[in-house]
Structure 1
């Protein structure tokens, strides 16, 4: 049985989508009120400030993405795990009009309060830690190209993924995202 999302859930879902499309400074409570069909005062009831809403959005997004990430079977070969990770990023793009929420907000970091910055940093670090484990596995299996320490390589790889979604959005193709994955795999 499917349930209808609550007003609070609708506000949060629309806020996440708008931030993935426009960033922190590119949406307002007025935008949300039009999408949800409520007055802006109703939004303030659930989220007294924009920062309250953004922090909850980052936490909800992080929880969902990291759950998908951790659901990738650790018994799979590293190159397969990396392919599944790439597909996760591809889903983030949707129809090509969105960017990873935390990546988008990282570009607005000067506008964000410390607690939101910390939540975004935690999201980045969790992805980098997971990627470091996959890269270490791939180096051991000889299925992935890893130059240097897996932790440093993971930071570079994650930066490449974040940049690829920007370029994919700009050029309207997921090929940029696929190029990142391909550059780390050993030729078979």
Structure 2
């Protein structure tokens, strides 16, 4: 009678051990863990980095519904590098998306600084080192200015390569928070001409 129950008992024991093994290893013995995705409780932060280097945090909280279910590849498609996005994903816990803007922040948008364009003194948008466009090309040839001022203009054009103490001096003399200050300096600059 013992042999009669031996085979079914062995099969029951084998089934129990197989089930226990599947439960312990979670079914990953022959497969891989699924790719983590953005979920309802994924922490989310959106930042903007402006041309002047200032950062602004936009949306912060849980991930928006429209990106729920996206894995790392899907996130990169939704926030493409070509459009100025960079992504830091630690899914499913956290997602940070950062956009590089070609514009200046609200504070620095009104700033102007002096530089050189085509041999003339020029007024550039934004703060020194921000890569702003020419706003105004003056009729003051750089060569008509004293040597010390020409040197300052050259340093301003290579602002990011200057030591910190030189940058601080240039900011106080060549960078202006508003148009009124700029116009006052431009009047004085006209008096420095040596032609």
Q: TM-score, normalised by structure 1?
A: 0.31
Q: Which has the higher helix share?
A: 1
Higher relative strand content: 2
TM-score (norm 2): 0.30
Q: Tell which has more relative contact order, 1 or 2 (C-alpha 8 A, sep 6+).
A: 1
Computing the radius of gyration from Cα coordinates, the structure with the larger value is: 2
